[in-house]
Structures are given as C-alpha cells and as structure tokens.
Structure 1
Amino acid sequence: MRKGISLISLLVVCGLWSMPKAVHAQALIPHTLQLDAARLERQGLALAQEAAQLGQFQQYELALPRARLASQLAPLNDKVWFLLGGLQLQAKNYDAAIASLNRAKTINPKNADVLFAIGSANFQQKKYQAAIENYQAGLKLKPNEADSLFDLGNAYYMVGRLSDAIAQYDKAVAQDKKFWPAINNIGLINYEQGNVDAAIKRWQAAVTIDKQAAEPLLALAVALYTKGDRQQGLTLGETALRIDPRYADVDFLKENLWGSRLLADTQKFLELPRIQAALEQRPTAPASRQQN
C-alpha cells in the first residue's frame, strides 16, 4: 500500500529532525527533540497556500495531499480545515469533506463559510433538510450572501417549498441585481405552476443581464415555441445550444432543477429537425459552466 508522507518524513526533509550524536567515545546520549510548533504551523500554512493554488486549477490529486498534511501541521487553524474540506467537496468526497468542515466548525463556530460548505455537501448528498439547516445557520451570521441565499432557495425547491424558494431567490436578487441564476430559477417554478407568461418574463430578464447565459435562453426558446412563436423559439434555441451544448442533455437539465413540465416540452423541442441540425454542428467542449 502507498502511504502519504508522514510528519517525521517532512521534518527530516525540512531539517527539523536531528539524529542522536555521539559524544567522544561514550555511548549515545538520548536526545529529546524540541518541535517548534510555530514553525510547523508556518510550514502548514505554506502547504495550504500551495494546495489552494493547485485547487484553483482543479489539480485535486496534487492539492489534496498538501492540504491533508497542512491540517496535520496546523491542526488548530480552521482555515486549513476549511480548505481541505473544500477540496474534498470539489473532488466529490462528501463524507470526508463534511468531517473536515466539522473540524473547522469546532475550531471556529462563527465561520459562516464553513456552514455554507457543509450545506453544499448535504445538498450534493440529497440531504436537503440538513442543507437547509446549515444554509440557515450560515445566513444568520452572514445574511446578505447572494450565493447562499440562492443555495437555500434551491434546497427549498428540492423539498417542494416553492414559495420559500422564490422568497430566497428574490432576496438573492435584492443583494445582486445581476444575479440571473436566481431570476432563472423563479422562471422554472413559474413554468411548472403553469404561469408560462411569468416564466417568459423572468427568462427574458435573465438573458438581458447575460446574453451568453445558455440556460434561460434555451428555456425561453422552448416556452416561446410551445406558445406558438415558433420562428423566434427556434432561433433562440439554436443560439443557446451553440453557446453550451450540454443543455441538450436531459440529465444535465434535471441537475439544473428543470421540472417535469419544462423537460417534457424541451424533449419535444430538441427533436425538431432544425435543432437536431444545430446539435450536429455543436463544438466538442462546452462553452460555459453550470449555473444552478
């Protein structure tokens, strides 16, 4: 089996571990190692910084060992545990992420970002009630975080609390007028509730904010086509799929919280000859990231 670098190994490399020395011809005298805790913590923080930089480039295989070692060298630093938990979360190792994040929470219960990250891990595990509780706890500490208000709205959405979801999306937009994902998701709820005109207005508003936002553009295209505005619907649909062809994947749409009514209409839309022709010309790599 392969083991990660041990603390002793690191100390040897860094010159912190000294071997016993002989004094003249006498027997070896036992040597008591005095570890410099402050120096070890500085080394841990330096490793954490390296891990964070690697994580920015999604090099998790390189980042995670550094972050784990950093947590051993600086075990009382909540930011190091938060970094480790965040990297584990990005690597989809949710149980390990929650364990690391809980260590950070124990050290600093007032770190709202840790609570938000635990909520995100809960959400990914489909533990939506736990996600709601952690998002709510974080928002008590940082009530104006648009991203976390949006995340709480998504958790409410998943448990069917649609009015609560809309309320959180509205709060997110109140904090950031250009936060189109929240506007988009209100449109998703409107459409499932049969209020197509309201959904169209939301998606039009989202596209006005970001003309390269493929999700509201495709949703708008489907809604317009289904209502009878076929030419505009087809044109917008072609544009959306050129921007990000992942939205032609129904499973991807489900991940982005598209409901059954919109999915059914979208599947019909994607089968249209013009849309099929547009998909055949799609690029091999997506142009933008998932928003929900």
Structure 2
Amino acid sequence: MNKKTIIIIGAAILAIALGIGSFFIFRGEGNVKPDRRANTITLAEEYYNHGEFQQAMDLLNGLLIEDSTDQEARTLLNEIIEAKKNYEEEKAREEQEALAAQQEGLKESLDTLGDSLQNQGGSSNTSTEAMNALLAREEERAKEEKLQKEVDALLNAARNALDDKDFDSAESLVKQALNLKPDSGTARALQVEIDRKRKEAESEAERLAREEKEKKINSLLSDARRALDRKDWSGARNMAEQVLEMDPGNGEAYAIIGDSYYNENPDSAANRNRAQSEYEKAIADNPDDWQSRFKLGQIYAAEGDLNRAIEEMQKAADLNGQNGSLYYELGKNQYRAGLFRNALASFKSCELLDPKVEGNYFALGLTEKKLSMNSNALNAFIESSRLRPTHAPSFWEAGKLYFSSGKTSDALKTLKMAVELEPNDARYRKSLALAQFSASDFDGAEINYEKAAELEPDNGENYHNLALVQMMKADYSTAIVSASKAIKLDSSNARYYFTMGEINEALAMKDSAVQMYKQSINLDSGYIKPYINLALILDESGNYNEALNYMKEAEKIDSESFVVWNNLGSIYLHIEDYDNCIKYYRKAAAVKPGDTDVLFNLSIAYIETKKNTEAIAHLKSIIAIDRTYWDAYYRLAHVQFSSGDKEGASATVKSLLSANPDYEKADELKALIGQ
C-alpha cells in the first residue's frame, strides 16, 4: 500500500453555499539539485523497505532524468522494479482467488435468494432489495473485471511492441492503460522498463542528440513556466508551441498552453473550452498530471457538469494525496452535488493534511450541519472564526447553532460579532434580533428588525417580526403600523392577519379583530390560532354556540391541543354542559396536572354536578400546589360545609384568614362557619 492510499484511508476513518474559487496552480520546475541526491536515495530506500514501490521509483526516475549515468540509482531502480513485479504477480494471484470465491459466493447467494423468492411468491420487499443489492454488486464487479481486461490487453500489446523495439507504440499503449486505471502498478513498472530499454537501445550519437534535444525542451518549458508566473500568457504559449514542434506529444507543453488560456480568463467560456482541449492532450500524454486533471475539474464545475468535475478532481487527489487544497476543492463540488457524506470525507482529509486551508472549516461546518451533526458543525464554525476573525458567515453560523441548542448568551455574543463585521447584511440582523427577542431584550430586537426592514424593504416578514416585538413592549399603536406594512407587502399571509387581529384586540377594537381572524382563516383553513382567538372573543361576548363551533374546528386541526381542550372546557362550562366540560378539563389536566386554573375550573364543574368528593379532592390539590390560590379555599370551605363537614370547612376558613386576613370574602366565610 502506498503512502497516498494510507493518507486517504486515514482521512476516511476520521470522517466515517459553496462556489468554485480561483485556485490557480502554477507548475514548478521540479529539478533535483545535486546536493539532494543522497537524501533522495535514502528516502527511496525507505519507501522501498515499506513496500511503497511507486514513490521510490518516482524519486529514482527523477535522479536518472537529471543524470542517466547514475549507476547507484539505476541499480536500485532495477531492484525495485523486480520486487514490484513479484508483488504485483502475487497480488494478481490473490485477487483471482478472491474473485473466484466471490463469484461462487454470489452464485450461492442468488440460488438461496431465488429459493426465498419462490417460497414467498416474489412479494417480499426485503427480498427484492436484497436481489437489487446483489445485482448491483455483480454489475460493479463485472465493470471492474471488464476494465481490468482492457488494461491487461493494452499492457500485453505494449509488451509485444517492446519486444519488437517499437518503443513509441509501447509507450502509447501504456499511457492508454494508465488513463483507464491510474493506480495500475503493473503499467507503471512497464513504463519505467520501456524508458530504460529505449535508452539502452540508443547509439552514442542518438543519445547525445536526444540529450541535446531534451536540454532545449527543458529550457523552453522552464522559460514558459516563468512566463506563466509573470502572467505573460502569449509568451508562455509561444514557447510551449516551440516545444511541440520538437516533441509533438509533449504533455507538459499542452498543460502550459492550457494554463495560459485558463489563468488568463477563467470566466471566459472560450478560454475554458480551449484550455479543456489542451488539458485533455496533456493527460493523454501523462495520466499522472494531477494539475491538469484538477484544472479540468474546475472547468467542468464552471460549466455545471459536477459529476465530471468530481471525477477529475478525485483523480487529481488520488494522484497527489498529500495536497489538502485538492480535497477542499473536491469537497466543495461534492457539496454542490448534494453528496454530503463524500464532501465530509474530503473536508476531513483536507483538515488532516493542511488544517490552515482557508475556508475548509467553514465548508466542513456547513456539511456537518447538512448531516445533522450540529455539535461537530458548531466546533467547525468556531475554529473557522478563530482562523478567519473577519469572516462574518462563520460567526453567523456558529451563532445560529448556539441559539438552536439553547445557549442564548453565546448566541448573542457571536451574532453581535457577525453584525459588527457586516452591519448591512439583513440575515445577520434578523438572527441577532431573534436571539434578543428570546432573551427578552425587546429594545435590541426592535432596533435590529428595524434595520433589517431598511435593508430589505420589500420583505413583509421583517415588518411582521417588528410588530411582534412592539406587541411585547405593549406599543400597540406602533405595532399596528408595522403589521399594516406586512399585510400591504403580502396580503396572502394568514399569520400577518392573525397578528393584526391580536393588536386590534389589545386596542379594544374587537370588531376589527374578528374581521382579521376570519380573514386569516379564509387564507389558511389549517391555521389553528385564529380559530382559538375568535372563539374566545365570541365566548366572552356570550355567543357560546358560535364560539363552540370555532373551537371544535380548532380541535379538528389539532386533536391533542391542551389549549383547545382547556377552552372547550370553559365554553361547555358557560353553556352548562357539565359532562362535556368535565371531559375536556380532565383531558387538559392530564396534560398539565399542575395547572391550577384548569383544576379550579374542573372543580367548579364537579360542584355544579354535585360531585363534591371529586371537587374537594381537586381543590385540596390546588392549595397544595399554590398556598395563595384564595378562591380555592373559598370554594373548598363551601363544598365541605354543604357536604356536612363543618369542622373541615372551619379549618379551611381559618387557614385562609390566617394567611390572608384581608380576603375580600372574609365576612361571608366567617358567617358560613358561625363566627
């Protein structure tokens, strides 16, 4: 297993509103300096000893490109090639055995599943899902097997061409194989062997000519890269084209031309199209060119083809597994495609490789939030705000998560920071106002909702929220103006009319309130609040039957509502339907057994139906809950007296008058017990 694979697996274990940024990668020269040779040999030996053949071979190939006479490097390279060949052959044998076992297991599974389906008459969803899963695995295995056969065919053809000393054809076939399967160790080993045998077959004159040509090409490529660095796009293209005249298939030259077009204007469709063509040629020549694959991925993303963008960026990350920025860009496109689990793995890989990549923690937080991993998301946003102390969105996202988790104090502090950084962003103002409202800071909430309304004057929700805050401040004359603006902006919103109804009620404008509630119901017949408030107004005005109708409609919307049950009990109490009154008060009391008002009203219903035992029990419960509920003492004393418990009544009156000697009905109670 090579180092790149280990890093990817490590990131995956950790993992178990995003656009495409301007991520320009300029190509370095990559020349190995003579004073680094010994370190390179040592590092190659370490990779070799750990079984990481490709990394070792890449290092040695770099040395041999600089000095083809380096016998120590060549001897070590040949040793590694032989070891890798043996490893690949052993691995291929094991894979064949595993494949045979898998096919046999699949056959048995399908046979068993077929019997199961036959026994169940083919009606089981579970069996169907199992069949689909097995077929999907078989299809995936078949695709992999087909791909491997194509690669093997190309490599066999390459070996035949190599035997015939047709080095160009052999090299072309190997590149095709690597394009199909970039991680093919066999193909890479054959590529090195072709290069070695090509050089061995050269005459001295051919070698000198080749080296002189390579020297000119490398010089032009270096100059072209420097031209890219100074943004001399046409100059870079000119030098790369000179290289192609000497070496028509030079992938690095194609890549430089692609970079010149893309970096010159990545927003231009024409530039992107030309760059895409050049990058594809570069990759055809060098399947390991991760930079061209990455740029190709960026181009696909800009065109909206996220699947191909992800495919190319994934290949780039596979080829350069130590570059955290690649995983960050890959993750952004996976996020845009809705592949949140994949995006999470990519962002975690970036965190592992390079935790300082700007934007990664913010992207990680957004992804974890999408996956309902809110605690992790909060930590990511906090880290993002630490690394980017002027990034308002990080503070905003953290503040919202603090608020949703009930940490209002932290939410206020963090959201205020977002507003300070970007005071003209209405989203931040509204989130802060909501937190302030929750903390009963109505003045602060009003200021921020007013600012949000200034920033978004066509958004009725801002004025509606402003009206709600002003209601909490009992500033109804101002609230009615805000509510009117909300309705003017959106006359189809049932909530706006309901709020206007509440304001009208507070201003003792009952008829207007009734109209507002009815309009709210007309706009949304499933909105329960206007039914309840309308029923209460009608109940208070003595229109009990109409009130009952509206409250029963409310019960249809929410048959488990404590508020509805409690108010139905009250309405039935008023129309003296005590059986239904007791029924609904008991339902309400079961939901909130400590609600003394519900228990008191239930006691009244029991008294009216002569159920004194139940009434006494509930009145005593009220007093046990609230020693200052004076009317409970009053009712209890009367019920006890009428039930013949004069001592109990006397004790109740004495307890009441001892705690509240100025009780308004004290004389009546004294007369009751004969004092």
TM-score of the aligned structures, taking structure 1 as reference length: 0.71
Select which of 142, 167, 192 maps to 2:540: 192
1:154/1:248 CA distance change after superposition, 3 Å:
farther
Please state how far the C-alpha of 1:77 moved relative to its aligned partner. 0.5
Inter-partner Cα distance in structure 2 for 1:122 and 1:91: 15
Aligned to 1:215: 563
Select which of 413, 419, 435 maps to 1:71: 419
Q: Which structure: larger Rg?
A: 2
Residue type at the aligned position of 1:105: A
Select which of 528, 544, 547 maps to 1:180: 528
Structure 1 or 2: more helix by fraction: 2
Aligned to 2:73: none
Inter-partner Cα distance in structure 1 for 2:568 and 2:530: 15
Please state how far the C-alpha of 1:202 moved relative to its aligned partner. 1.3
Aligned to 1:113: 461
Please state how far the C-alpha of 1:158 moved relative to its aligned partner. 0.9
Inter-partner Cα distance in structure 2 for 1:179 and 1:275: 36
- 1:122-164 CA-partner distances (Å, limit 9, x unpaired): 1001111211110110121122222222111111111111121
Q: CA contact under 8 A between 2:581 and 2:605: conserved in structure 1?
A: no
Aligned to 1:14: 387
Q: CA contact under 8 A between 1:81 and 1:100: conserved in structure 2?
A: yes
Please state how far the C-alpha of 1:50 moved relative to its aligned partner. 1.9
Residue type at the aligned position of 2:553: A
Inter-partner Cα distance in structure 2 for 1:52 and 1:246: 33
Inter-partner Cα distance in structure 2 for 1:116 and 1:276: 47
1:269/1:145 CA distance change after superposition, 3 Å:
farther
Inter-partner Cα distance in structure 1 for 2:491 and 2:595: 32
Alignment of 1:94-133 (within 5 A): 94-133=442-481
Aligned to 2:585: 237
Q: Which runs of 5+ in 1 are unaligned?
A: 1-9, 17-39, 251-264, 285-292
1:174/1:105 CA distance change after superposition, 3 Å:
same
Please state how far the C-alpha of 1:241 moved relative to its aligned partner. 2.1
1:245/1:126 CA distance change after superposition, 3 Å:
farther
- 1:41-78 CA-partner distances (Å, limit 9, x unpaired): xx212211221222223321111111000001111101
Inter-partner Cα distance in structure 2 for 1:15 and 1:100: 25
1:55/1:15 CA distance change after superposition, 3 Å:
closer
Q: CA contact under 8 A between 1:215 and 1:247: conserved in structure 2?
A: no
Please state how far the C-alpha of 1:88 moved relative to its aligned partner. 0.5
Residue type at the aligned position of 1:57: S
Please state how far the C-alpha of 1:275 moved relative to its aligned partner. 6.7
Aligned to 1:86: 434
Inter-partner Cα distance in structure 2 for 1:15 and 1:179: 44
1:151 is aligned to 2:499? yes
Aligned to 1:134: 482
Inter-partner Cα distance in structure 1 for 2:384 and 2:560: 51
1:226/1:11 CA distance change after superposition, 3 Å:
closer
Q: Which structure has the higher relative contact order (CA within 8 Å, separation 6+)?
A: 1
Inter-partner Cα distance in structure 1 for 2:540 and 2:447: 37
Q: CA contact under 8 A between 1:248 and 1:270: conserved in structure 2?
A: no
Q: CA contact under 8 A between 2:384 and 2:394: conserved in structure 1?
A: no
1:15/1:57 CA distance change after superposition, 3 Å:
closer
Q: CA contact under 8 A between 2:585 and 2:601: conserved in structure 1?
A: no
Aligned to 1:206: 554
TM-score of the aligned structures, taking structure 2 as reference length: 0.32
Identity of aligned residues (%): 18
1:113/1:275 CA distance change after superposition, 3 Å:
farther
Inter-partner Cα distance in structure 2 for 1:121 and 1:182: 19
Q: CA contact under 8 A between 1:154 and 1:165: conserved in structure 2?
A: yes
1:95/1:154 CA distance change after superposition, 3 Å:
same
Please state how far the C-alpha of 1:276 moved relative to its aligned partner. 7.3
- 1:53-111 CA-partner distances (Å, limit 9, x unpaired): 22223321111111000001111101111111111111110111111222222222222
Q: CA contact under 8 A between 2:385 and 2:394: conserved in structure 1?
A: no
**Helix, strand or coil: the match of 2:560?**
coil
Inter-partner Cα distance in structure 2 for 1:121 and 1:134: 10
1:57/1:169 CA distance change after superposition, 3 Å:
farther
Aligned to 1:55: 403
1:226/1:168 CA distance change after superposition, 3 Å:
closer
Aligned length: 234
Q: CA contact under 8 A between 2:578 and 2:605: conserved in structure 1?
A: no
Inter-partner Cα distance in structure 2 for 1:113 and 1:276: 50
Q: Which runs of 5+ in 2 are unaligned?
A: 1-382, 626-675
Q: CA contact under 8 A between 1:76 and 1:107: conserved in structure 2?
A: yes
Q: CA contact under 8 A between 2:494 and 2:524: conserved in structure 1?
A: yes
